[in-house]
Amino acid sequence: MAKHKKAKKKPGRAATASAARAEEHVLDRLHTVLLGRRGGDPEKSYTARLFKRGRAQIAKKLGEEAVETLIEGVRGDKTKLAAESADLLYHLLALWAAADLKPKVVWRELARREGLSGLAEKAARKRP
The answer on pLDDT for 94 being more than 70 is: yes
* 75 belongs to a structural domain: yes
Comparing 29-38, 74-83, 95-104, 112-121, the range with the smallest average pLDDT is 112-121
How confident is the model at residue 85, as a pLDDT?
A: 98
How confident is the model at residue 7, as a pLDDT?
A: 53
How confident is the model at residue 92, as a pLDDT?
A: 98
Q: What is the CATH classification number for the domain harbouring 82? A: 1.10.287.1080
User: In sequence order, what are the residues at sequence separation of 6 or more whose Cβ sits closer than 8 angstroms to the Cβ of residue 84?
Assistant: 65, 68, 69, 71, 72
Host domain of residue 48: 26-100
* 123 belongs to a structural domain: no
The total of structural domains in the chain comes to 1
- 75-102: average pLDDT: 98
**Radius of gyration over alpha carbons of the chain, in Å?**
21
